Amino acid sequence: MLWAFVITLVELSTVVVATSPRPRKTTTSTLDDEPFGNELDKPIPMVLAQGVAGQKGSLPCDIQPIGTNDGVSMVLWFKESSGEPLYSYDARNRKYGKANFWSAQHVWGSRATFRTNPPAQLIIQDLRESDEGVYRCRVDFRNSPTRNLKVNFTVIVPPSKPIIYDAKRRDMSKLLEAYAEGADLTLVCEVHGGRPRPRVEWYMDTQLIDESYEVRESQGPGGEMRPITVNHVTLEGLSRKHHHVKLSCKATNTILALPPTTTVIIELNMKPLTVEIVGKEKFTGKEKIFSAGKKYKIECRSTGSKPPAVLTWWRGSRQLKRAVENFQNGSTSVSIVEWIPSIEDEGKYLACRAENPRLPESAIEQRWILKVHFTPIVILRMGLSLKPKDIKEGDDVYFECNVRANPQAYKLTWFHEDEELHHNVSGGIVLSDHSLVLQGITRESAGKYTCLAANTEGRETSNVVNLEVMFAPICKHVLNSGTWKHQNATPPPFNLPEELHGALKHETIGLVCEVEANPTSVTFHWTFNNSGDLNDLPASKFSSDGTVSRLNYTPATDMDYGTLGCWASNIVGHSKLPCLYQVVAAGRPFPLQNCTAVNQSGAWIRISCIEGFDGGLPQKFVAMVDKQRWESPYPYWELELHEPTSVALYAVNVKGSSDPVIMDGIALKGVAKFTGESVSSVDMSPILIGLGGTATGLGLIVTGVLMALWRRHAATPAKPKPPQQPSIATFAGKGEEEDGNPDLIPTTALSNHTDLLQPPEAQQVSRGHRQMRCYTGELHLRWE
Ligand SMILES: *[C@@H]1O[C@H](CO)[C@@H](O)[C@H](O)[C@H]1NC(C)=O
Ligand SMILES: *[C@@H]1O[C@H](CO)[C@@H](O)[C@H](O)[C@H]1NC(C)=O
Ligand SMILES: *[C@@H]1O[C@H](CO)[C@@H](O)[C@H](O)[C@H]1NC(C)=O
Ligand SMILES: *[C@@H]1O[C@H](CO)[C@@H](O)[C@H](O)[C@H]1NC(C)=O
Ligand SMILES: *[C@@H]1O[C@H](CO)[C@@H](O)[C@H](O)[C@H]1NC(C)=O
Ligand SMILES: *[C@@H]1O[C@H](CO)[C@@H](O)[C@H](O)[C@H]1NC(C)=O
């Protein structure tokens, strides 16, 4: 539709344009002013008309009669001054609409048609260059004089389609090339032919940007010189707005036809415009805070690049290459990096760089200055001025806890062997800032020290610093050994200031002195104190090995009983107090203690006691029921009783027997329990009461002492015992040998009853068995 309209406009404008360059006076005014006269004598008015080769053109011819009641009888067309008509319209003697048309075959033939409707014109189809020329139309009217009109008809030859070359003279229509943003683009448009010479103009989209063209000669394929019209255009500094812009070269030599046009579309390689790091976690504010060791997913986006930007990640000058995912989301390039910051990244930057691979130096980047938070790094060390190997009791020591943390640690705690230390000036513990001061340390201060620091990221314990404290030797008493376990009893929980040892004259007892000391390189010496005189024992009497010294001591006279002291010293100093060993003359054993009875199955009853001090001599144990007597190497019996009765229990050694413990009314009544104290409560004879008095006196000696005394024998298991427990008789015999023994404890009770205590050969003790059937002879136990 639009096309048709344009064509119509063009047709209409033909006459107008053709006439416009000519002064109006010579065209229209002459027409109007010339009603009559000799047609060829007068100057014939001429109009200008144009047509485009290949299209149709029109030759105007005014056939309007001047007067009314007149009409056209004939119209004839001539070329130049030729007298031969080329075309005729004959309406002579014909009815309206039945006129005769004729066209000379060798000129226009069927290409020409005459249109009589005003404005009348001869339409020529498919114009040829040869159609150009000056034409005359002669109009014959029925009444009026003939009219002549001239038409100067020009045939316009359109130019060829423009060819666009780039600076390297490559045909742009066959080229797919993208130009770098910022570069200059020079294009040449060349147009062959065209009559008249065309205007060759550059348009950007619809806007004219260059109309400076020139005509050159160029050599055609056949060597002939051909004119070409050339226009150079240069776009300086191509920018984003030039991307996909249409650059057109138009060759125009008429408005009667659309000008041949060649268009190129500019393709640009463009730099990235934006780059932005987007943390998946919230990273608000200027400082981006990370936690060391945590894994982060960070995204970077870039827009504006064509082709799409290549995104790379950098930490400082080092590229992060691991765990990076790149993809394109629409026109946005996206890169996701997985990254674990370390403490060393603090203050460095994390950068995302976007670069167009086609454009060097197109890279842009965004940087994040890193703040890396981490759990404290805690290093503990002892004060620099201290010599760790040279610290002794009483010294002051200090530790420094070096904490590196971000954010700052809000808490610092100190530990000694898992126990938290608190500031206590009176206790000699001073905590300040990052140090711990221990004043006047003791050997208990030795051990492992740590400090612990906490911040919002977590808490961390330091390395362990071991504090070694040297101290002078001190006595170490070990009481639980040997037969305690066998008796299933609990060892006394306390240490003793001294050990008590009973010894016969000429009997050798072994004393063991063990000390604790640091360093453990210790020298010993032993002293003997008898009634105030303190004498050193010759070094030949004892041996030393590390922290242990052994003395074999043999009292020869009464003067040899007393207190032995074991002293030790190391580089720190001397022991303040010696280990003390009281050596007393051997005597009667001490009574049994804490005796209990439990009924067994049937008539059997089990009695067990705790033994007391053996008086410095081997002891054994005797239970007496009525006239029956049971001996045992341990204070333990199993008896068969058929009726309620009393049982007397003794410890016996060669010096005599201990005070008895009487268990009364043992009668298979379930459990009965008796203790040494029960002696006084049972019904007993006066002698027993006397014995009880003695026992009370002895009972004043602390239980622990008794334990210690017992230990001496318990601790010497190496002493071979005969398979058969020595009988009282054996003890007695030995006792006689030890004639000169000081009888510290008179053996009143048993000496009165030696007859009873002599169960001679009939006595038979089966060791290692709990049940002791030891008796065949008749025994009469009389307490009167
Ligand atoms: C016809 O027109 C052309 C172009 O307008 C001009 O060059 C030529 O001289 C004219 N011819 C005559 C006879 O007026
Ligand atoms: C792509 O971009 C759109 C719009 O910005 C967004 O909604 C979408 O989540 C993005 N896709 C990915 C995979 O990031
Ligand atoms: C401080 O130390 C002293 C001495 O060791 C101790 O008796 C006291 O209980 C301590 N005070 C505190 C508050 O721990
Ligand atoms: C020696 O023993 C006596 C009495 O037991 C005591 O008073 C004295 O302090 C002791 N002397 C030494 C040096 O141990
Ligand atoms: C003996 O018994 C008494 C009282 O029951 C108790 O306090 C004591 O510790 C016992 N002695 C031993 C060595 O078990
Ligand atoms: C003690 O003896 C009685 C009577 O024979 C018996 O019933 C009871 O079970 C015994 N108890 C134990 C602990 O053996």
Topology (CATH) of 163-269: Immunoglobulin-like (2.60.40)
* Range with top average pLDDT, 134-138, 586-590, 720-724: 134-138
Return the pLDDT at 663: 84
Residue predicted with more confidence, 69 or 667 = 69
CA 186 to the chain's CA centroid: 56
Residue 400's pLDDT band, with cuts at 50, 70 and 90, is very high
Host H or E run for residue 30: helix 30-32
CATH code reported for the domain at 274-372: 2.60.40.10
Return the pLDDT at 776: 27
Measured distance CA(718)–CA(496) in Å, rounded: 24
Return the pLDDT at 727: 33
Ligand showing the shortest atom-to-Cα distance for residue 438 = 3
Question: What is the atom index within ligand 2 of the atom nearest the CA of 299?
Answer: 14
User: Which of 12-21, 313-322, 621-630 is predicted with the least confidence, judged by mean pLDDT?
Assistant: 12-21
Ligand showing the shortest atom-to-Cα distance for residue 156 = 1
The yes/no answer on whether domain 473-481+488-584 falls in CATH 2.60.40.10 is yes
Instruction: For ligand 4, pick from 528, 535, 563 the residue to mutate: most ligand atoms within 8 Å of CB.
Output: 563
Measured distance CA(8)–CA(4) in Å, rounded: 6
User: Which of 257-261, 279-283, 676-680 is predicted with the least confidence, judged by mean pLDDT?
Assistant: 676-680
Tokens at 276, concatenated: 């932005």
What mean pLDDT do residues 306-320 have? 91
Return the pLDDT at 505: 86
Ligand 3 site residues (CB inside 6 A) read 422, 424, 426-427
pLDDT tens-digit map of 469-485: 999 998 886 433 333 33
Return the pLDDT at 270: 93
Residue 690's pLDDT band, with cuts at 50, 70 and 90, is very low
421 in contact with ligand 6, CB cutoff 6 A: no
Q: Whose CA is nearest to atom 11 of ligand 1?
A: 152
Question: What is the atom index within ligand 4 of the atom nearest the CA of 578?
Answer: 14
Distance 705 CA to ligand 5 centre (A): 14
pLDDT tens-digit map of 114-152: 998 888 999 999 999 999 999 999 999 988 888 899 999
Kindly report, as residue ranges, where domains of CATH 2.60.40.10 are found in the chain.
2-156, 163-269, 274-372, 383-469, 473-481+488-584
Distance 308 CA to ligand 1 centre (A): 61
Return the pLDDT at 280: 62
Distance 695 CA to ligand 6 centre (A): 33
670 in contact with ligand 6, CB cutoff 6 A: yes
Return the pLDDT at 502: 80
Ligand showing the shortest atom-to-Cα distance for residue 577 = 4
Instruction: For ligand 4, pick from 475, 525, 529, 584 the residue to mutate: most ligand atoms within 8 Å of CB.
Output: 529
Return the pLDDT at 498: 61
Ligand showing the shortest atom-to-Cα distance for residue 20 = 1
Q: How buried is residue 177: exposed, middle or buried, by Cβ count under 10 Å (0-12/13-18/19+)?
A: exposed
pLDDT tens-digit map of 143-173: 888 889 999 999 999 999 999 998 888 888 8
Residue 40's pLDDT band, with cuts at 50, 70 and 90, is low
Indicate whether 702 pLDDT > 60: no
- 569: three-class secondary structure by DSSP: strand
Topology (CATH) of 2-156: Immunoglobulin-like (2.60.40)
Ligand 1 site residues (CB inside 6 A) read 48, 134, 152, 154
Return the pLDDT at 319: 92
Residue predicted with more confidence, 759 or 446 = 446
Indicate whether 685 pLDDT > 60: no
Topology (CATH) of 383-469: Immunoglobulin-like (2.60.40)
What mean pLDDT do residues 172-201 have? 89
610 in contact with ligand 5, CB cutoff 6 A: yes
pLDDT tens-digit map of 107-116: 898 999 999 8
Ligand 2 site residues (CB inside 6 A) read 329, 334
Return the pLDDT at 767: 29
User: Which of 174-178, 514-518, 708-712 is predicted with the least confidence, judged by mean pLDDT?
Assistant: 708-712
CA 713 to the chain's CA centroid: 66
State how beta strands 178-180 and 296-303 pair.
unpaired
Indicate whether 726 pLDDT > 70: no
Instruction: For ligand 2, pick from 274, 329, 333, 336 the residue to mutate: most ligand atoms within 8 Å of CB.
Output: 329
CA 54 to the chain's CA centroid: 82
Residue 706's pLDDT band, with cuts at 50, 70 and 90, is very low
Return the pLDDT at 675: 41
pLDDT tens-digit map of 743-782: 333 333 333 333 333 332 323 332 222 222 222 222 333 3
Ligand showing the shortest atom-to-Cα distance for residue 678 = 5
DSSP 28: I
User: Which of 26-40, 409-423, 446-460 is predicted with the least confidence, judged by mean pLDDT?
Assistant: 26-40
Q: Which of 155, 156, 151 is nearest to 47 (CA)?
A: 151
Question: What is the atom index within ligand 3 of the atom nearest the CA of 425?
Answer: 1
* Range with top average pLDDT, 51-65, 644-658, 662-676: 51-65
Q: Whose CA is nearest to atom 3 of ligand 5?
A: 594
Q: Which of 269, 270, 271, 289 is nearest to 279 (CA)?
A: 289
26 in contact with ligand 5, CB cutoff 6 A: no
Q: Distance of CA 609 to CAs 480, 612, 656, 680, Å?
A: 18, 9, 19, 17
Cβ neighbors of 718 (< 8 A, separation 6 or more) are none
563 in contact with ligand 4, CB cutoff 6 A: yes
Distance 650 CA to ligand 6 centre (A): 26
Return the pLDDT at 778: 29
Convert 191-224 to b/e letters by CB count within 10 Å (16 or more is b). Answer: bbbbbebbbbbbbbeeeeebeebeeeeeeeeeee
Distance 774 CA to ligand 1 centre (A): 171
CB atoms within 10 A of CB 329: 8
Residue 562's pLDDT band, with cuts at 50, 70 and 90, is confident
594 in contact with ligand 5, CB cutoff 6 A: yes
Percent of the chain's residues with pLDDT above 70: 75
Percent of the chain's residues with pLDDT above 90: 40
Ligand showing the shortest atom-to-Cα distance for residue 561 = 4
Residue 335's pLDDT band, with cuts at 50, 70 and 90, is very high
Host H or E run for residue 481: none
* Range with top average pLDDT, 322-336, 592-606, 711-725: 322-336
